[in-house]
Amino acid sequence: MPAAEPDETLEAQKARLEEQIRAKERQLQTLKANLLNLDQGIRNGSHAADEYKRYGRQLIMPTMGLQGQLRLKQAKVLVVGVGGLGCPAATYLAGAGVGTLGLMDGDVVELSNLHRQIAHSTDRVGMSKADSAYKSLRALLSYQCLSRLNPLVEYNLHKFHVSPENALAIFNSYDLILDCTDHPTSRYLISDACVLTGKTLVSASALKTEGQLIVLNDPPRPPGDLSGGPCYRCIFPKPPPAESVLSCGEGGILGPVVGTMGVLQALEAIKLLSRPRAEATPESMGNGTSDEPPKASMLMFSAYNNPQFRTARLRSRRSNCAVCSSTPSITKASLDSGSLDYVAFCGVAIPVNILPHSLRLSPTEFAILPNAARGTLIDVRDETQFAICAVPESVNVPWTGNAASWLAHAEEAGVLDDEDSACKYIVCRFGNDSQLAAKAIIDRSGGTTEKVKDIKGGFQSWREEVDPQWPDY
Amino acid sequence: MSTPKAPAGHFTILYFAAASSYTRKDHDFLPAPLAFHMLFDVLDQKYPGLREKVLDSSAVTVNLEYVDMEEEVAKKDRADGSLALKEGDEVGIIPPVSSG
């Protein structure tokens, strides 16, 4: 007990003691509250003090809150494809505190990836994309939680492509799948595997200046249950013809376009994972909570259009869907047995080979022709590629995808005027369109002309055989 | 650029992704009314090859709602008939984008 001040009255002593007691009581309350928080933290999987700080800005959002954050921490998310979509998606998911993040990709980093695949870097060209992204994400979050043992996010690296043989086993150990791949075959496979393993799928894609985003199989119900969300096959039952499918290498892509779609994927994933489990009806992307079967929505992004964003209401499950209906032809057994051929289903773009041998010549053969014999060189690449690099005196008549319309353009350009005199050589980027264009001219002449030839392998072969300085774009 | 309003007696058709690449346009105005199940015929005539290359594998929306072409074609001879596209409607041709 503190000694009384010499001239302190009894009243004053009493007041001081009372104040001291109140202070101790406040301290006790704080200690009890801290204990309660710690208890709660332990029960909730120990949300460490610095995690409050790290996630504070999203934690105070009513849509997230502590419970939402803890649900993220318990979640396991698989990012299939760590490229233009997967890099930003995985980065935001790791940053947001998803507990387990799977990175699946069988490719290695290439120089042409770097303008958009932001988790990779020049010094990692040739490295596995899963490894490269893992390095970046670890650097971003090089932080150990309170136990000083476990990193905040646990990573699983799957350094191979998704396949019918591995999809079910791998998807089973995750809560949510992100399709960040780049081909129809993987899009159908991933959707099928999500239906069969009961996982919701956040699917995004991008090409040129446009992107698409859909949340599929939400809620994830067994095949035949119409209260489940539709799958990719419900929306797109028929794959596009293989020869019309363009990769980013062929069609081009702007970094921020695919980046936007990857970021939106992470956003949808965060919304799905942080929502209360009881909310069985899909609330993502504005889907209603009525009694009607849930419909998927597609967000379409067109960077050069106005408006840039449009949302279309798509459809509910298809009653005759090959995988999510009550009479599916695609089952776990058919996937496991490897009897499903996704490549055959989507078709293969076979390199064009429609001209007789006599009407084709190699870049080398063309290069050694005397100037007088070179006739007219018609370059059928599009205007943009022609402006990047072109052979002097060649004429640009871009292939239109259709013989009649291309011939009209060629006539306009005057390259068909001297039909019987000078020889015409047709060239393109890879040597496919050039054959189609040559064939169009030959057919127009009734199949008689021998004066139209295609340069085999296009400028790709031109660079390999004749001109190593030719831009390798 | 922003798509202008369709002139009187027309509906707007928006081309996305491969549909836009093939037609080399982002929209057209077509005369209304038009039976929905005739849409692909009209477009394939305007852009030969479009049906096989693009339309058959595309999703189609009318005023941002999905409409199933096969179901509409099946309905065309029935009493309830198929959907009619009317003046001012906005049709979207949405081919799947698979790249990423």
Residue A352 counted as domain residue: no
Residue A244 shares a structural domain with residue A114: yes
- pLDDT at res. A281: 47
Residue A361 shares a structural domain with residue A448: yes
Distance from CA of B18 to the nearest CA of A (A): 8
Across the interface, do A240 and B26 touch by the CB < 8 Å criterion? no
Pairing of the two strands A297-302 and A309-313:
antiparallel
- pLDDT at res. B97: 96
Q: Which of B44, B76, B62, B97 is nearest to A239 (CA)?
A: B97
Dist CA A226 CA A316 (whole Å): 8
Q: Given B48, B52, B97, which is nearest A207 (Cβ)?
A: B97
Distance from CA of B5 to the nearest CA of A (A): 13
Nearest chain A residue to B20 by CA distance is A210
pTM, two decimal places: 0.85
Q: Interface pTM (ipTM) of the complex?
A: 0.95
Residue A73 counted as domain residue: yes
Of A301, A321, A346, the one marking the end of a domain is: A346
Q: What angle do CA B39, B44, B46 make, to 5 degrees?
A: 100
Residue A4 counted as domain residue: no
Residue A208 shares a structural domain with residue A103: yes
**Domain CATH number, residue A322:** 3.40.50.720
Nearest chain B residue to A262 by CA distance is B100
Residue A99 shares a structural domain with residue A248: yes
Name beta bridge partners: A101: A77, A155
CATH code for B10-94? 3.10.20.30
Residue A140 shares a structural domain with residue A232: yes
Residue A275 shares a structural domain with residue A320: yes
- pLDDT at res. A288: 47
Residue A180 is a catalytic residue: no
- pLDDT at res. B75: 84
Nearest chain B residue to A88 by CA distance is B100
Residue A5 counted as domain residue: no
- pLDDT at res. A34: 74
- Which positions in chain A touch B23 (Cβ < 8 Å)? none
Rounded average pLDDT per 10-residue block, chain A, 473 residues:
66 92 91 71 60 90 93 96 97 93 97 96 96 89 44 89 96 98 96 98 97 97 96 96 88 96 98 79 48 92 95 95 95 88 90 90 93 90 96 94 91 82 90 94 86 94 95 93
Residues contacting A185, CB < 8 A, separation 6+: A342, A343, A345, A346
Across the interface, do A212 and B95 touch by the CB < 8 Å criterion? no
Total count of domains within chain A: 3
- pLDDT at res. A68: 94
Residue A247 shares a structural domain with residue A177: yes
Residue A53 counted as domain residue: no
**Domain that residue A405 falls in:** 357-465
- pLDDT at res. A179: 98
Distance from CA of B50 to the nearest CA of A (A): 10
Across the interface, do B18 and A244 touch by the CB < 8 Å criterion? yes
- Which positions in chain A touch B52 (Cβ < 8 Å)? 241
Name the stretches of chain B with pLDDT < 50.
none
Distances (CA, A) of A174 to A191, A273, A324: 14, 12, 20
- Which positions in chain B touch A117 (Cβ < 8 Å)? none
Residue A28 shares a structural domain with residue A127: no
Residue A346 is a catalytic residue: no
Of A291, A316, A346, the one marking the end of a domain is: A346
Q: Given A83, A245, A298, which is nearest B100 (Cβ)?
A: A83
Residue A383 shares a structural domain with residue A403: yes
Residue A302 shares a structural domain with residue A410: no
**Domain CATH number, residue A416:** 3.40.250.10
Residue A412 shares a structural domain with residue A447: yes
